[in-house]
Amino acid sequence: MLNVAARVKVSHQSGYGHWVRQCHLARSLIQNGCRVDLYPDTGATIEAIAVKGAQIIPVTGNDHFLQRLPADTGLVILDIHDTSPEWIAQLRRKTPRVAGFEDLGSGRSHLDLLVDCNLDPEQAGELPNGVEALFGYSYSLLAEEYESVARQPRDFKNGVRRVLITMGGSDPNQLTSQILPSIIEHNPSLQLTVVLGPGFRQENLLKSWVDLDQVDVIYSPKSLGELLLIHDAVICAGGVTLHEALAAGTPAFVVPQVEHQEDLARKLEDRDAAWLVGTPGVVNANFLLEALETPSRTLMAMSRRGRSLIDGGGLKRITKALIDLTEK
């Protein structure tokens, strides 16, 4: 049995996207006969997003992770964004294989495998020969269900009538409270569904939302797949949910939480697959209201374009690549 350890960055400020996708990957690896231990940051509210069969071991940092790592670990997966060559060298004393997700540090050149769906496949040539690269939207890591979700028919003949609002697991910039008032004031006929994640900390605002007939509030759903399919548009940040929307064929209007999400969303906007309606932490109300008036033909074009980029099969591709890596 292959023993896998995944070190995952997760907090109120950095969000829950890393944790969610590594939970998807852990389930897939377990289904393929692996044992998986997950090492999130201590203090994160992760109870609502767990994995049957995986052990969860909170750690205070990367050095603590090294201390806790079992000697029989055959593969370490890093989803922490920034590693150094020195730390990777320490890690290699305890495990034969190391894979990373979207590693922006200099340690990326010392991995065995690097997954980054936000980079073009051609950029793989920038890595040393010993690093296998899984670049491009084909390697967007979404839940297994999105292979099926991506094949469901879509219809936008009535324009935007139902809108899903989901700003990540923690919404650190309180974007939900910026978005709702503008829509409620100017578009009282729209039906709004607000998704709140496990790290949401604006409970004082809930009372004013849940009493409105126009607004439905859903707490920590197990999946967004079905919700995306029954809404005509989604307002989201530029993380995992954006890629889920593309696979579902749901036009996405993006308000990024952080700068790198803005860059990623702009790249998709340039491909006519999503629209930016704000800057990091700030909603542009005029852009947002204009986006909600998008005509049916444009909505359908966005839907098709998004699905042409992300087909929901990234999880299977990544799982196979990781298992193949350990068999070399």
Query: Mean pLDDT for the chain?
Result: 93
Q: What is the CATH number of the domain that holds 152?
A: 3.40.50.2000
Give the per-residue pLDDT at 223: 87
Q: Are residues 88 and 227 in the same domain?
A: no
What mean pLDDT do residues 180-199 have?
91
pTM: 0.91
Q: Is residue 23 scored above 60 in pLDDT?
A: yes
Q: Are residues 179 and 134 in the same domain?
A: no
Task: Give the DSSP H or E segment for 323.
Answer: helix 314-326
Q: Are residues 153 and 74 in the same domain?
A: no
Q: Are residues 303 and 317 in the same domain?
A: no
Q: Are residues 44 and 167 in the same domain?
A: no
Q: Are residues 136 and 279 in the same domain?
A: no
Give the per-residue pLDDT at 170: 79
Find residue 165's DSSP bridge partners.
Answer: 194, 235
Distance of alpha carbon 146 from alpha carbon 313, whole angstroms: 7
115: Cβ–Cβ under 8 A, 6 or more apart, which residues?
99, 100, 101, 102, 134, 139, 141, 318, 321
Give the tens place of pLDDT for each residue, 34-66.
999 999 998 766 655 678 899 999 999 999 999
Q: Are residues 150 and 298 in the same domain?
A: yes
CB 247 within 8 A of CB 311: yes
Distance of alpha carbon 235 from alpha carbon 207, whole angstroms: 21
Q: Number of folded domains in the chain?
A: 2
User: pLDDT grade, residue 298 (50/70/90)?
Assistant: very high
Give the per-residue pLDDT at 219: 87
CB 4 within 8 A of CB 37: yes
Q: Are residues 189 and 304 in the same domain?
A: yes
* % of the chain residues with pLDDT over 90: 80
Residue 126 structural domain: 3-142+313-326
Q: Are residues 174 and 259 in the same domain?
A: yes
Give the tens place of pLDDT for each residue, 135-187.
999 999 999 999 999 999 999 999 999 999 999 877 889 899 899 999 999 99
What mean pLDDT do residues 2-22 have?
86
Distance of alpha carbon 94 from alpha carbon 211, whole angstroms: 54
